[in-house]
Amino acid sequence: MPSAWLLQVKLTAQTAAGFVSDFYTLPVGIRTVAVTESQFLINGKPFYFHGVNKHEDADIRGKGFDWPLLVKDFNLLRWLGANAFRTSHYPYAEEVMQLCDRYGIVVIDESPGVGIVLAQSYSNVSLQHHLEVMEEMVRRDKNHPAVVMWSVANEPASFLKPAGYYFKTLIAHTKALDPSRPVTFVTNSNYEADLGVPYVDVICVNSYYSWYHDYGHMEVIQLQLATQFESWYKTYRKPIIQSEYGAETITGFHEDPPLMFSEEYQKGLLEQYHVVLDQKRKEYVVGELVWNFADFMTDQSPQRAIGNRKGIFTRQRQPKSAAFLLRERYWKLANETKYHRSAVKSQCVGNSPFTF
Residue 150: closest CA among 178, 183, 177: 183
24 within 8 A of 262, measured Cβ to Cβ: no
Q: Which of 155, 244, 248, 288 is catalytic?
A: 155
111 within 8 A of 137, measured Cβ to Cβ: yes
239 within 8 A of 286, measured Cβ to Cβ: yes
Is the peptide bond between 274 and the residue preceding it cis, with omega within 30 degrees of 0? no
The H-or-E segment that residue 308 falls in is: none
Q: How far apart are CA 344 and CA 342, in angstroms?
A: 7
Count H helices and E strands in the chain, helices first: 7, 13
| Annotated catalytic residue 135 | no
Is the peptide bond between 75 and the residue preceding it cis, with omega within 30 degrees of 0? no
Number of C-beta neighbours around residue 319 at 10 A: 18
Q: How far apart are the first and last CA of the chain?
A: 5
Give the C-alpha distances (Å, rounded to integers) separating 281 from 43, 102, 242, 323. Answer: 19, 27, 10, 21
Give the C-alpha distances (Å, rounded to integers) separating 300 from 149, 186, 220, 296. Answer: 33, 25, 31, 12
Catalytically active residues, by annotation? 155
